[in-house]
Structure 1
Amino acid sequence: MAEIFPRLWRYCLVLTRNKDNANDLAQAACERALEKADKFKTGTHLDRWVFRIAQRIWLNELRSQAVRRGGGLVSVDDVDVPDTKTDTETNIYASQVLKEVYLLPEAQRIAVLLVYVEGFSYKDAAQVLDIPIGTVMSRLAAARGRISKRMDREGTGSE
């Protein structure tokens, strides 16, 4: 579970957009996974199972508290993103893309995180989100289109 936790926390941050809520949600998902460990099917992917648990907990929270959002949103500048590139221009561009991702509607933002950041296949992301694979593909296409338009409009896109 330790190797999954950073990815789980990042997923929870995308869901909640709040560091404290992400911490709480990730912890709750881990606790629920431990409580329901007997329901985990050996041979399946633990990360997908735990991500799905986190999503269900979050959706239940949203349903029980219609006004869950508000203050305390995380600025993209405050999120610790590992700097794996030495090229400053690449890092600046990646930061701009990340800011655009955070501006996406929640459904698109979550699909982008699962597929492009966490590396899930479209099928696996669809299973985590409990939606058809075509919906994942549609959300990703819409997200790419929005990001591209905004970055081209701001003059930061590729020519």
Structure 2
Amino acid sequence: MRLSPKPDLIEHLPRLRRYARALTGDVVRADDLVQDTLERALARLDLWQPGSDLRAWLFTLMHNLFVNQLRTRRPQDTALDEALDIPVSGGQMEALAARDMHAALVRLPDEQREVILLVGLEQFSYAEAAQVLGVPVGTIMSRLARARERMRHMLAGAPAVQLKVVK
């Protein structure tokens, strides 16, 4: 009996940490989410299909853990901390733009933030993002369009677009 080689989870740590930080808005919670993700990945490594995209599988695990944590969190814990620890020095304008971008990003609904992070930051294809989030590709495309539009309005200082419910 020949054992298949274990995948290298360590090479995915920087991207997992970046995505977790963007999801949670907090370094400590992000590190906890990454640790929980890696623990689950190691415990369920036999469920990963060798030859399939390990990165997408890890991001799917992280997304599911994050959603589960949101569901079980007490109401007072759900507010994202918008305080940034981006130093303003040397490149003040870039730091201010990054701060504004982060502040707008954390104000997006979770569904839109996840899509914009996966497609925009992590360079997932629409199909890969759909697989990670467990939704159709069309849903990814519409969430991304709404997220981009909302970000444009927030960064321009305009109020977010409020959609009316038509019956």
Structures share fold, TM-score greater than 0.5? yes
Unaligned runs of 5+ in 2: 1-8, 159-167
Unaligned runs of 5+ in 1: 81-86, 155-159
* Contact persistence 1:114–1:125 (CA under 8 A): yes
Overall identity of the aligned pairs, in %? 36
How many pairs were matched up?
A: 148
**TM-score under structure 2 normalisation?**
0.75
Q: CA deviation at 1:54?
A: 1.3
**TM-score under structure 1 normalisation?**
0.78
Q: CA deviation at 1:136?
A: 0.9
Q: Distance in 2 between matches of 1:72 and 1:126?
A: 25
Equivalent of 1:31 in 39, 47, 60:
39
Larger-gyration structure (1/2)? 2
CA 1:63 to 1:47, structure 2 compared with 1: closer, same or farther past 3 Å? same
Helix, strand or coil at the partner of 1:43: coil
Query: Within 5 Å, which residues of 2 pair with 1:1-159?
Result: 1-67=9-75, 69-70=77-78, 73=81, 75=83, 77-78=84-85, 93-153=97-157
Alignment deviations for residues 8-66 of structure 1 (CA, whole Å, 9 cap, x no partner): 11222233222222111110110111111111111111111011111222222233334
CA 1:93 to 1:6, structure 2 compared with 1: closer, same or farther past 3 Å? same
Alignment deviations for residues 86-108 of structure 1 (CA, whole Å, 9 cap, x no partner): x8766654553343222212111
* CA RMSD, 1 decimal: 2.6
Alignment deviations for residues 95-125 of structure 1 (CA, whole Å, 9 cap, x no partner): 5334322221211111110000000001100
Q: Distance in 2 between matches of 1:72 and 1:95?
A: 14
Q: Distance in 1 between matches of 2:13 and 2:43?
A: 16
